[in-house]
Every structure is written in structure tokens, then in C-alpha cells.
Amino acid sequence: MKYIFRGKLCGFICAECREPLSNVKVRIYRVEDRENITANAVANAKETFAVVDEEALKAKKSRLIAETGTDEDGNFEFKLGEKQKYNGEAFEVDVYCETVPNLKTGKNPPSPVQFSITTLQPRWRQTENEFLFVYDYCIPFRYWCAIRARFGAWTICGRLRTCAEPKTPISGATVRAFDADWWQDDPLGSAITDSAGRFRIYYTTADFRVTPFSPFINVEFASGPDVYFKAELGGNTIINETQADGRQPGRENIGHCFCVELCTDEIQPTPVDEIPHWQQVEIFDIHPFPSVSATGFSAEGYAGGAANSFVFGGTVALKGNCPLRNVAAPANSLEYRFQIGEWTWLGGADDPGSLPTVPPAGLSPVTQITTTLVGYVFYTNGLGLPDSARVNIDSTDLQPNGWIKVDGKPVTVDMRDGTTAVVNVNNLNFLRTFDLFNLNSPAVTSAHPAKLPGGLPIADAGRAINTNEREPVRRYRLMFEVRDASTLTTVATDTLDSIVLDNSPVIAALDLEELRTNACNPVSAGQIHILYTVDHPHLRSFSLGVSNNNGGVHPPPALPSGSFLPPPPLSNLLFRGGAGGPHQSGGNGGFTVDISADPPCAYRVVLSWQTRHYQSVPQGTDRLYCK
């Protein structure tokens, strides 16, 4: 049997800033301390983290099971089996770094570093032909920054906003960091803020320890730089700190990882209704912090916190704001669009036994829209009275490449006197809603043909669903983009890295062995044999019950049932249901229920289920029998 170990690694720069462990080697070793396997496996990784020195590295070389590399996003995969002499036991997980992300190359590259993360006893989940375990881990900043320090790598992770409420993020600004030292002011590096006002500056020890007397005097006495900042936007200085700021507590001798909040009064906050932004999918914020908040999305694309782990189907409301005009150029209209890309699996083929971990190679304009109420236009009707009309957008409003422009849109209005008129949308007559785009998600997911079209016939009730018949998790990346309609310059972007869309039906079938020979004869034996199948990639729960007019006779949990358990581990997200069967020629297949004590009556066997779709409701199917 093959064992598939998939994972994703990252490291915290600070609590609000992390980076993927890209292009490092992941090594797994057989456990040496077998007496303490359980204790090591359940220990917090913060307690088991350790740098492996040369002597220890040589000592554990003979215990190496396998090694693999991570991609740009920190994803990795092991395929283990007979070749590696692996049979599902616990193993140690190490990471070997020849460098760290975004390290500037120098003349004398530092030595590689290997460190141990933890001992894992995987909770293998069996699929048809293999076992699967998924492991995601982000190294605490105290340890990850210590690793970066070994490479002479320094990082500043920051955010630039207005000082005045509501502390609006400032995008497109150039932020420069300097070291205030007694030799000279060393420029450490620069970065441009993104749409959330965030920036990162990467630099090395050499950037602030070089002096005017180098290479003869090349060392400063302090452990780290005394940092201060300058920022420009559109050629104008908006932050102009001095050496004195670098000497303030919290700015002196900063560490290898440093996070900072900057603000400026040089830019007054733009009125919120003039800021283009994408805020929500339905009621869920696309970028709250932390990302596991019950009001937002997980890194894997599930909404509402771990206990809910909602997915979306049908029409999905994308909510936010796009002003009619560009506040920086009031004469110019704004237009917006959404773009979408799909996550896939290593190797490319659908895998219903795991989450897709390969990011989209690119994004395409979203054209799958249903009618969306974006606002109301106000006018004076033919009776001389104030009136309003709905402003809807649909597929006819999509310009090439999916762009939508509401400014100037002609709206036919009722004049209340038997006539109509056309009113063009403008800033003086338009009141917007919070809706940007109603996504027609079935039109998106229909790019994939159904794995089991038509569902499972009742004759197959009790049969387990084969791997190639199972619908996988469909995970997408969505980006909101706003541009100036005249200059075509991008004004704002917002991205939801992952959202799970699903419109696949629950595969369910229910039958009784006793009804297969004659569905009309009363059941005379003291048993019934229930054949059931229920399968879906986003199942919340399922249950079986037997009842008559007086209520439940054989309720769960005496009868089969199952429920979704919130992650971690991530494998909990793959709960799909179950099957009781298959049919046997002797009529004794499925789940046996003793009905010998049940009185003569008409009975109903119910298979119920509910998915994790947002706003889903319980559903079910039933079979009737008499005794």
C-alpha cells in the first residue's frame, strides 16, 4: 500500500506576517527514541524544534526515509511504500535550508542549516488504493527568525495607513528604511505598499555594517540597526523621519525580524464611499485577521470558522464598493471586474482524497454573472414627484475582458403617467448598494463534467462510491480589480486567495433487502437489512432512522450516522459519508436492524443528510415497509 504525505510549511516573521518556506528540502527520518514516540508525537512543535548540528546530522543519516523539496508556496509531497521500507509508522520531520526566502546573494554564502520540527504519528486516512495524511505547519517567529539570522537575513514587515480614523491603508507608496548609525545613515532597502498598505523590506547584515572605512572597519558595535523610515507617494514626501526616530525605544537595535505600523497625516482619509474595495463574500469578510476568524475564510478557502467550514454554491454575492468616479481624477469613470483561477493537484489529475494545493497558473475574467442590484437611480417622475428605480447589471453590461462600468449607464424608468424615460447614472442621482457582482457559481463549476451523472440508482444502494466517481474539492482564487476607464490605470485590487465552490449533488441511495423480492409484502422476519450510500465532498452529517406514526423506533446512534469534525487536522475537511452494503444474493447485505419487538405497523426508514454549503438545509430520502 502506498502512503501519501502532503504538507505546507511557512514561517512567521511576526504575529501578522508570515512567508512560505519555498525551495527548501523536507527530510523525514525513522524515530530513534522509540520509547518516547508517543510523548514526542503529541508534544507541541515549539517544544521539539531544534537545530541539527553536523555531528547529529551524520548520526541520523542512516535513518533517512526520504526527502523532497517545497515549491514557491511551501507545498511538498512524499510518496512512501516498499521502496522506502515504510509501513505507516511515526517519523521525524526535518527541514534543510541552503538559503531562506528573499535572501540577497553575497560573495560568501552562509552554510546550510537543518532543523527538526517534530515527530509525527500520521493519522492515515485510507482511500481506495493508498493512505493519505496532510500536514500544515507555520514555524513560530522566535524560531524562524533565528534560522534567518544564521543566514544574515533581516526583514522589516510593515503597514502604512493614515493616522486619522478610519486609518485607511495607503497603497502605491514607496517606503524606505534607514539605519541611523554614528558612521553614516545606511539605506537598508525599499518597498512599495500593496492595496492593504503592507510592505516588506529584505536586507542583509552587510547593508548596515559597511562603513566609510570598509573593508578595514566593517563592524558596528550594536547587534542590529536603529531604523527610521521615509515614504513617498506620487513624488510627495508623506513620512520624513530622522535619526532621532531611529534612537527611540522600539526602534533601536532591532532584531532580524521587525514589524512596524507607520502612519501619516500628510494624506487625509478618503471618504469611505469613495474607496474602491471588495469586502465580503455573502456575510464573510475576505481579509479579516486572523484568517481563521469565524467572520472570514481559512487559508484553504472555507468560511465561517473551523466549526462551520462553509462552501458556496448557486448564486454567490460578492460585496463591496466601487465609486462611479476616480477620486484622484474626478472627471474619469471607474470600471471593475473579477478574475478567477482554479487550484489543482500535484500531477494535474483530480484527487478526491486530498485538497488541491497547486495555485492557479493564471486568472481569467469572470463572465458568469446573474442579475445584480448595484443601486438606485433617483429622478422626478411625470407627476412631478421624486421617484427611484433599480439599477441592475447582468451579462449585457459586461464589456470586453469582463469590465463593468456603472457611471453613465442608461436606466429606463417609469414616469408613472403611462410613459417611460431614460436616466443616465451619475454621482448626483445614484445611491449604491453594497453588492458588486452576483457570481453564477454553477456556470463556473460546470467546466467539470459530473463524475456520476444521474446519481446512484436504487439498485446500487449500499455500494461504496469508487474514487473515479467521487467529486473532488473545487478551490478557486478570486481577484477584484478596479481601473480608471480613461487611462486604464489600475486603481485598486483585492484578492481572496481561496474559496471553495461546489454545485455537485449528494450521491445518495437507500433500499431494504426485504423490499427487493417483493416491495408490497409485509416484512415477516425479525430483521431488516438496510442498504444505504451517501457521499459528498462537503458533507456535514448523515444519519439513518426508523419510525412509525408514533415517532422514532430505531433512531441514531443505534443506526449508522456520521458527522463532520472541525479541523485540525485538515483531513477532517474530507469527511464524505459512508455506505452500508452491498446487496447480497442471500438477502442479508447491508446494516442489520432487529425489529422483532416492533409491533405490526407501517414503518419509514429515512436516510438524512446535510452539506456544509452556506445556508444549506437538511435533506433526505426514505423507504416504507409494513410489518
Show Cβ contacts of residue 13 under 8 Å, excluding neighbours closer than 6 positions: 19, 141, 144, 145, 155, 157, 200, 257, 259
pLDDT of residue 186: 77
> Which residue among 452, 483, 500 closes a domain?
500
pLDDT of residue 520: 83
Q: Are 597 and 621 in contact (CB under 8 A)?
A: no
H helices within 153-228, ranges in order? 206-209
Q: How far apart are CA 256 and CA 456, in angstroms?
A: 58
Q: Are residues 467 and 560 in the same domain?
A: no
Q: Are 577 and 273 in contact (CB under 8 A)?
A: no
Nearest to 320 by CA among 433, 168, 440, 169: 433
Q: Are residues 17 and 63 in the same domain?
A: yes
Cell 507555520 found at = 138
Q: How far apart are CA 501 and CA 547, in angstroms?
A: 36
Show Cβ contacts of residue 470 under 8 Å, excluding neighbours closer than 6 positions: 352, 451, 535, 537, 576
Q: Are residues 409 and 277 in the same domain?
A: yes
pLDDT of residue 214: 44
Residue-wise pLDDT tens digits, 558-571: 788 899 999 888 88
Q: How far apart are CA 122 and CA 224, in angstroms?
A: 41
Residue 150 to residues 98, 109, 153, 188, Cα–Cα distance (Å): 11, 11, 7, 18
Number of structural domains, the chain?
4
Q: Are residues 168 and 277 in the same domain?
A: no
User: Coil, helix or strand for 436?
Assistant: strand
Strand partners, 259: 157
Residue 534 to residues 19, 470, 497, 505, 558, Cα–Cα distance (Å): 40, 11, 31, 11, 18
Q: Is the dihedral of CA 300, 302, 308, 313 positive or negative?
A: negative
pLDDT of residue 291: 47
Q: Are residues 531 and 470 in the same domain?
A: no
Q: How far apart are CA 534 and CA 514, in angstroms?
A: 20
Q: Are residues 222 and 347 in the same domain?
A: no
Q: Indicate the pTM of the whole model.
A: 0.67
Q: Are residues 157 and 33 in the same domain?
A: no
Q: How far apart are CA 371 and CA 327, in angstroms?
A: 27
Q: Are residues 82 and 70 in the same domain?
A: yes
234: domain CATH number? 2.60.40.10
pLDDT of residue 36: 67
> Which residue among 127, 149, 171 closes a domain?
149
Q: Which residues of the chain are under the pLDDT cut of 70?
A: 35-46, 106-107, 127-128, 182-185, 207-223, 269-270, 288-293, 557
Q: Are residues 306 and 358 in the same domain?
A: yes
pLDDT of residue 15: 81
Q: Are residues 483 and 602 in the same domain?
A: no
> Which residue among 264, 287, 310 closes a domain?
264
561: domain CATH number? 2.60.40
Per the structure, the complete domain to which residue 557 belongs is given by 507-626
Tell me the pLDDT of the chain averaged across its residues.
89
Residue 625 to residues 361, 549, 581, 622, Cα–Cα distance (Å): 54, 13, 19, 10
Q: How far apart are CA 217 and CA 219, in angstroms?
A: 6
Q: Are residues 144 and 196 in the same domain?
A: no
pLDDT of residue 221: 44
Q: Are residues 496 and 521 in the same domain?
A: no
Nearest to 131 by CA among 27, 5, 28: 5
